Amino acid sequence: MAQVLSNISDIIIPVLVFYIVAYGAVSNCKVYEDFVKGAKKGLQTVVGIAPTLVALMVAVGVLRASGFLAFLGELCRPVAELIHFPGELVPLAFIKMFSSSAATGLVLDIFKTYGTDSYIGRLTSIMMSCTETIFYTMSVYFLAAKVTKTRYTLSGALLSTLAGIIASVVIVGMM
């Protein structure tokens, strides 16, 4: 069974590409020209969002290098530990809202310090899967789609992240 799944996964992308080209040819579409137009629009989107991405990465780097994240963790430790959430993970929860790659760097530091099979290590792993890069996602996608009225997006995303963190604590507590 594993071999069958491996073979299927090896051919999915080529089959999908062939299907798109064949469908375009049957529909009398200019497949190559449409592809080039889409690639051009994609590059324009990248150029448009690059300053936002750079600003987010710089801000995360400054917060991490300045020691603010460690300060934040210590400041929030008493409240966090009431729900059995280690204060060491507060900086990770904060950074994950801005950048997944910066959060991954913190995850590796946590794994080196506490181990992957520790309570903190397991909680870190599950929390990374249960939370989203809120500000990155909002800035990139809303900028690309030219959305100016975000309504309840931020509050809903923050509530979802909190729910993900609580679910992580509950799941690891049941292990």
pLDDT band of residue 35 (cuts 50, 70, 90) is confident
pTM comes to 0.67
pLDDT for 159 equals 93
Number of domains in the chain: 1
Average pLDDT across the chain, whole number: 85
Specify if 105 maps to a domain: yes
Tell whether 132 is covered by a domain: yes
Residue 2 covered by a domain: no
- Give residue-wise pLDDT tens across range 131-142: 888 887 887 788
Tell me whether residue 159 is in a domain: yes
> Which tokens go with 59?
């801000």
Residue 54, domain extent: 41-174
Q: Is residue 162 part of a domain?
A: yes
Q: DSSP letters of 85-133?
A: --GGGHHHHHHHTT-HHHHHHHHHHHHHHH-SSSHHHHHHHHHHHH---
- Summarised one tens digit per residue, pLDDT across range 43-57 is 888 888 788 778 877
